[in-house]
Amino acid sequence: MIYLDNAATTFKKPINVIEAINHALTYYGNSGRGAYRAALDSGRMVYETREKISKFFGSSDPSKVIFTSNATEGLNIVLFGLFCSGDHVISTVTEHNSVLRPLYKLEKTKNIGIDFIGIDESGKLKYDEFEKHIKENTKAIIVNHVSNVSGEIADLEYIGKTARKNNLYFIVDVSQSAGNIKIDMNKTGIDVLCFTGHKGLFGPGGTGGIVINSDILIDTFKVGGSGVQSFNKEQPDEYPTRLEAGTLNIMGIAGLGAGIDFINEIGITNIHKKEMSLLKRLYKGVKDIKGIKFYTDCSEFEKEPESIRHGSILPINIDGIHSGDLADYLGEEYDIAIRAGAHCAPLMHKALGTVDEGIARFSFSYFNTEEEIDAVIKAIKEIVEE
Amino acid sequence: MIYLDNAATTFKKPINVIEAINHALTYYGNSGRGAYRAALDSGRMVYETREKISKFFGSSDPSKVIFTSNATEGLNIVLFGLFCSGDHVISTVTEHNSVLRPLYKLEKTKNIGIDFIGIDESGKLKYDEFEKHIKENTKAIIVNHVSNVSGEIADLEYIGKTARKNNLYFIVDVSQSAGNIKIDMNKTGIDVLCFTGHKGLFGPGGTGGIVINSDILIDTFKVGGSGVQSFNKEQPDEYPTRLEAGTLNIMGIAGLGAGIDFINEIGITNIHKKEMSLLKRLYKGVKDIKGIKFYTDCSEFEKEPESIRHGSILPINIDGIHSGDLADYLGEEYDIAIRAGAHCAPLMHKALGTVDEGIARFSFSYFNTEEEIDAVIKAIKEIVEE
């Protein structure tokens, strides 16, 4: 199989990730729930992984790294724990349903106001509109770092400055960028980010988290056993326990930590460069196909791979072939895995005019090869010619 | 290491569980998010695991098996999704903080009323009190099947009858019984149960779930990507998507399914019999130690193992040795892993009078051996004699 659906999950995991998972299965007990060696070792690994994650995202306090089961859970915790009745929030049309649906639910249950910033014809956010939508009751800006549909990158430095200047919390969904693009919370002024573990970070499913880099106090979401303060009727006040309840996914956290080790070893800029070189190769190989359409600013792909500022996603459609059919042909005839149709980002499909046809999304990982890309180009051309 | 902290997590997992996890890591894509083989295979495995779980608990609809990251998450979803302002609920002092803290939060935020049924001197629930506490606004009874402190089993048939007779929802936390004791939702009239995957079911951490066996409609908790109905502003109405948002823990679910296969192969009555025989052996070996105290009805342990009705937990204290010290001695001097102190069940410690000293909890798995139990008996005796 040629796997180009890495934006859904990275299929091939580094060997050290698989080893770490098996090590955890064999040697680690429950963390924070016993004083014997296997439980202490487990607790130590969990803490070290918090440190790795904190450092990886340029954050300063490992105790403010909260483990969740995926980015969606992190986003739910942050959004439901932050907004009160009557608050206003600025977001964008590039958001995934993991942000939209919590916001819509808050709109309905807590009467919060939402403004969505649109995109221009090149697919970029209309940056000058952020400031225009700030109201007296605006509490936060929440943006998707990389669109899971178009692969366009949001300019976090710009938005971060706008947020800071107006004293707003800056929250970022890094599901599609963590592990592919360097993120520095301190530099960009991100207060809270939510990540998933099983995509660019090469961890297993069931992992993800929240990283907090400010004194923001997020209200509890799930509550329950915390291993400490057993006799307190409420969840402990302190992070991370404040937002974590019940037994952690030890095996998953071990795998996630190993994924970050792998990225640090290769170097995130090398990973980005390789993925951009593959993306550019695919783009160059198919751009002259009659009726092909790209839903992103392709001028970026004329640059050298190391200079390309884009997520590891190439979104296309070809006149006369529904995106779902293209994905089916590629899957059934060529064993090439991509995702098509709607991508859980309804406002983005509306903005791009692809509500009906969807989009065929090719997404890359460090483990893809030039030979695979060439085979994909050949396959697409054959399908078009038929 | 001699591991007797299986009530925290089963440390030794069956080989087929480890194999299933590695198979998933190697062959499965994201489920419900693509139409290529690896994604379809993954989706099929997830559905088959829902079927296995539904059947395992005597429930009738696999689509009402909801995957969560642990029992705590399941209990939060059920409790926050069920109770409205002014409702009343009956629970028990045997509950874990995974039930207590959500209830206390509901008491504070939604003004729900709670009555806790106590235990008698033998450690059993005061069954005649359930009916006495039913009010006009009582909506549900929620009980812990097996106390994680004492190991006492609640009589689900009795409580289920009381619930049915009074038209109340019957919710059960089976964290300490799933995989150790046969549970039949149809027979006992359980409407909803919440389980964890990494204890008696032998799955990995990060797994658990809710099984619904009635037409109860639980409100959404986490909302977000569902892979279907992308353009719906709300989470889809249908189970399981109604209560599941974001990418599932594929690897974990594969491991959990394999854990259930293992239990089915051995037979849950054989597992229970072996665990009771080990518990009885430990009890008989230490019961004559001067100053030893058991916090459960020990007359049960006079029966043959197959007839003993008890969870796989033996709770003890010995006069003059704090439970934490006993655990430390066992861990450091003998490499024996148990849990001591407070067990995230504050009302139970109050009922048993062990708020200060805690309890030394020995908990068993199918993989423990008689030789291990004999070594533990010897170690405890040596510690006492010192």
Q: Are the Cβ atoms of B30 and A9 closer than 8 angstroms?
A: yes
Which single residue is written with the structure tokens 């072939």?
Answer: A321
The pLDDT of residue A33 is 67
Task: State the number of CA atoms in the 13 A half-sphere of A296 facing the CB.
Answer: 30
Q: Are the Cβ atoms of A230 and B342 closer than 8 angstroms?
A: yes
**Is the Cα dihedral A339, A345, A350, A355 positive or negative?**
positive
pLDDT band at A68 (very low <50, low <70, confident <90, very high): very high
For residue A347, count CB atoms less than 10 angstroms from its CB and return exposed for 0-12, middle for 13-18, buried for 19 or more: buried
Give the distance from residue B206's alpha carbon to the nearest chain A alpha carbon, in angstroms.
4
CB pairs < 8 Å spanning A and B? 280
Of A71, A223, A247, the CB nearest to B9: A247
Alpha carbon distance A20, A157 (integer Å): 35
Q: Are the Cβ atoms of B35 and A70 closer than 8 angstroms?
A: no
Query: CB of A16 within 8 Å of any CB in chain B?
Result: no
Of A21, A70, A97, the CB nearest to B247: A70
pLDDT band at A321 (very low <50, low <70, confident <90, very high): very high
Q: Are the Cβ atoms of B101 and A22 closer than 8 angstroms?
A: no
B13 chain-A contacts, CB cut-off 8 A: 25
The pLDDT of residue A37 is 87
Q: Name the residue ranges covered by the structural domains of chain B.
A: 2-10+267-385, 15-265
Which A positions 270-309 lie with beta carbon below 8 A of chain B?
A: none
**pLDDT score of A34 more than 80:** no
pLDDT in tens, chain B (386 residues): 999 999 999 999 999 999 999 999 998 888 876 778 888 999 999 999 999 999 999 999 999 999 999 999 999 999 999 999 999 999 999 999 999 999 999 999 999 999 999 999 999 999 999 999 999 999 999 999 999 999 999 999 999 999 999 999 999 999 999 999 999 999 999 999 999 999 999 999 999 999 999 999 999 999 998 878 889 999 999 999 999 999 999 999 999 999 999 999 999 999 999 999 999 999 999 999 999 999 999 999 999 999 999 999 999 999 999 999 999 999 999 999 999 998 999 999 999 999 999 999 999 999 999 999 999 999 999 999 98
* SS3 state at B302: helix
Q: Encode chain A in three state secondary structure.
A: CEECECCCCCCCCCHHHHHHHHHHHHHCCCCCCCCCHHHHHHHHHHHHHHHHHHHHCCCCCHHHEEEECCHHHHHHHHHHHHCCCCCEEEEECCCCHHHHHHHHHHHHHHCCEEEEECECCCCCECCHHHHHCCCCCEEEEEEECECCCCCCECCHHHHHHHHHHCCCEEEEECCCCCCCCCCCHHHHCCCEEEEECCCCCCCCCCCEEEEECCCCCCCCCCCCCCCCCCCCCCCCCCCCHHHCCCCCCHHHHHHHHHHHHHHHHHCHHHHHHHHHHHHHHHHHHHCCCCCEEECCCHHHHHCCHHHCCCCCEEEEEECCECHHHHHHHHHHHHCEECECCCCCCHHHHHHHCCCCCCCEEEECCCCCCHHHHHHHHHHHHHHHHC
The pLDDT of residue A225 is 87
**pLDDT score of A30 more than 90:** no
Give the distance from residue A249's alpha carbon to the nearest chain B alpha carbon, in angstroms.
4
With a CB cutoff of 8 Å and minimum separation 6, the contacts of A384 are A289, A290, A318, A321
Q: What is the ipTM of this complex?
A: 0.95
Of A99, A227, A231, the CB nearest to B346: A231
Give the distance from residue B307's alpha carbon to the nearest chain A alpha carbon, in angstroms.
31
B105 chain-A contacts, CB cut-off 8 A: 220, 223, 234
Per 3-state DSSP, chain B is made up of helix, strand and coil in percentages (nearest 5) of 40, 15, 40
**What is chain A's mean pLDDT, rounded?**
96
Beta bridge partners of A68: A208
Query: CB of A21 within 8 Å of any CB in chain B?
Result: yes
A204 chain-B contacts, CB cut-off 8 A: 25, 249, 251-252
Number of residues that this document lists for chain B: 386
First to last CA, chain A: 22
Query: CB of A3 within 8 Å of any CB in chain B?
Result: yes
Strand order in the sheet with A313-318: A292-294, A313-318, A360-363
Which B positions 204-263 lie with beta carbon below 8 A of chain A?
A: 204-207, 220-227, 230-231, 233-235, 245-252
Chain CA centroid to CA B167, Å: 25
Percent of chain A with pLDDT over 70: 100
Give the distance from residue B384's alpha carbon to the nearest chain A alpha carbon, in angstroms.
20
The pLDDT of residue B288 is 97
A249 chain-B contacts, CB cut-off 8 A: 69, 204-206, 249, 252
Give the distance from residue B304's alpha carbon to the nearest chain A alpha carbon, in angstroms.
31
A33 chain-B contacts, CB cut-off 8 A: 5, 8-9, 339
Which whole-number Å values give the CA distances from A102 to A72, A80, A192, B221, in the listed order? 9, 7, 16, 10
CA torsion, ordered B273, B279, B281, B286, to nearest 10 deg = -170
Strand order in the sheet with A138-144: A65-68, A208-212, A192-196, A169-173, A138-144, A88-92, A113-117
Which B positions 47-76 lie with beta carbon below 8 A of chain A?
A: 68-73, 75-76
Query: CB of B339 within 8 Å of any CB in chain A?
Result: yes
Alpha carbon distance A341, B230 (integer Å): 10
How many other CB atoms are there within 10 angstroms of residue A234's CB atom? 15
Q: Are the Cβ atoms of B72 and A230 closer than 8 angstroms?
A: no
Assign domain B2-10+267-385 to its CATH architecture: Alpha-Beta Complex (3.90)
A338 chain-B contacts, CB cut-off 8 A: 34, 36
Q: Are the Cβ atoms of B252 and A250 closer than 8 angstroms?
A: no
Assign domain B15-265 to its CATH architecture: 3-Layer(aba) Sandwich (3.40)
Give the distance from residue A16's alpha carbon to the nearest chain B alpha carbon, in angstroms.
13
pLDDT tens for residues A258-292? 999 999 999 999 999 999 999 999 999 999 999 99
Alpha carbon distance A7, A177 (integer Å): 9
Of A34, A198, A342, the CB nearest to B8: A34
